Structure 1
Amino acid sequence: MLTFVLIAATMLVSWLAFENPKLKQRLILWPPAVERRHQYDRLLTHGFVHADWQHLLFNMLTLYFFGRGLEGLMTQLVGPVVFVFFYLSAIVVAILPSYLRHRRDANYSSLGASGGVSAVLFASILLQPWTLVFIPIPMPAIVYAVGYVAYSFWMDKRGGDGINHSAHLSGAIYGVLFMLLMEPRVGPYFLQQLSNPQFR
């Protein structure tokens, strides 16, 4: 499954970056490098490096739990390549508001797959809001999503860890819009599922 390929690639690149600070500095989003050196690849590569193992595992567990089902549905509807395009484009789209806000700030940097993972999370929740997830305890997906966003807001206000928590919200919006544009029937289906809780 392509979800596993994305997870494996992210874990490999993150691990290499943990061992090689120069590689990490080349891959993170650092606005002056994009603005002055035209290293536009950083808008994507920052999503494959992480601050630490905890940050990496949190994102990859979320991608594991929610990416597999979403990949299966997208493959049925439009083909397997769409899921990869969705995930990679979400990383880029989710970072754009932060990049535009900080594009002349040499003290700003960002890293992590949070934008892409958040897009996958919220796109999945449109399909199965009451599915139980086990991160770290059993809870409905919709509850996990609310907690995920609340945590992101709190960490964004707190700041100081180099992780772009505000990208979670941008990614969430992109994930919902992408799903609704790809398959408009998802909207009414989500509302019907939301009003009829079934834990599974």
Structure 2
Amino acid sequence: MTFTIAIIVITCLVSITSFNRPEQVDKLSFWPYKVNNDRQYYRYITSGFVHADFNHLFFNMLTLFFFGRIAEANFQMFLGGKVYYVILYTLGLVLPDVSTYFKYKDVYGYRAIGASGAVSAVLFSSIFFEPWNTIYVFFIPIWAILYGGLFLAYSVYMSKRGGDGINHDAHFWGAVLGLIFPIVMRPELATLFLEQLTRLPF
């Protein structure tokens, strides 16, 4: 079993058993006020294993299924071990929520759930290694690197606009993490990324 499948199985089990159980979601959600006042730091991790509904869960896990395998294989090839994939995913659960913490640490009613930050990190790591890979967005083929640029721009725009209940900051910072993590682990991979970009598919 790959780490990607293991993460999907655990996330699905926790999420599905938390549906229609608001008290359970409250215990696991990322609640900046509780982190700040009650030092409940575990919420950085547990919030990534609960989702609002089946659609939220399905979209995140489907994305993880397709791109997690790419990232996992490349981590094995270029970093020498899939453990770095686990490290990336864990950091993707924690770091993207840091900006959210400072923004909402004094707001009692704000909570966030979902693995979007970690999934974004995995997605953008796969883009890092295979920038000209084809991604299908609503059945429309698009190059991964182009999708990445549009995704970042959209996340910034929606974060400033707000009002839709989605933590776009986590999406953005997860994506950034996914791009820089391989370089931090092995700086010479930056050259590989640039070389990949110059190999235009047309």
User: SS of the residue aligned with 1:191?
Assistant: helix
Distance 1:160 1:46 in 2: 21
Distance 1:107 1:4 in 2: 33
Q: Alpha carbons of 1:85 and 1:177: their partners in 2 closer, same or farther (altered >3 Å)?
A: same
What's the offset of the Cα at 1:64?
Answer: 1.5
Report what 2:95 is aligned to.
93
Alignment of 1:65-80 (within 5 A): 65-76=66-77, 77-80=79-82
Report what 1:44 is aligned to.
45
Q: Alpha carbons of 1:4 and 1:69: their partners in 2 closer, same or farther (altered >3 Å)?
A: same
User: SS of the residue aligned with 1:19?
Assistant: coil
Distance 1:6 1:161 in 2: 27
Q: Alpha carbons of 1:141 and 1:193: their partners in 2 closer, same or farther (altered >3 Å)?
A: same
Q: What amino acid is aligned across from residue 112 of structure 2 in structure 1?
A: S
Q: What amino acid is aligned across from residue 109 of structure 2 in structure 1?
A: N
Distance 1:143 1:51 in 2: 29
What's the offset of the Cα at 1:158?
Answer: 4.6
**Which of 163, 182, 186 is the matching residue for 2:185?**
182
What's the offset of the Cα at 1:32?
Answer: 2.0
What's the offset of the Cα at 1:121?
Answer: 1.4
Listed one character per residue, the Cα deviations across residues 18-60 of structure 1 (whole Å, up to 9, x for unaligned) are 1322111111111222122221110111111122222222222
Listed one character per residue, the Cα deviations across residues 171-195 of structure 1 (whole Å, up to 9, x for unaligned) are 1222222110112222122222222
Listed one character per residue, the Cα deviations across residues 142-193 of structure 1 (whole Å, up to 9, x for unaligned) are 1222333344334434534443111111112222221101122221222222
Distance 1:162 1:26 in 2: 19
Q: 5+ unaligned residues in a row in structure 2: which ranges?
A: none
Report what 1:5 is aligned to.
6
User: SS of the residue aligned with 1:139?
Assistant: strand
RMSD: 1.9
Q: Structure 1 segments of 4 or more deviating over 4 A?
A: none
In the alignment, does 2:54 pair up with 1:53?
Answer: yes
Equivalent residues of 2:32, 2:100 under 8 A apart: no
What's the offset of the Cα at 1:73?
Answer: 2.1
> TM-score, length-normalised on structure 1?
0.90
> TM-score, length-normalised on structure 2?
0.89
Alignment of 1:1-200 (within 5 A): 1-76=2-77, 77-137=79-139, 138-198=141-201
Equivalent residues of 1:111, 1:163 under 8 A apart: no
User: SS of the residue aligned with 2:135?
Assistant: strand
Equivalent residues of 2:33, 2:104 under 8 A apart: no
Distance 1:66 1:24 in 2: 27
Distance 2:73 2:111 in 1: 34
Identity %: 44
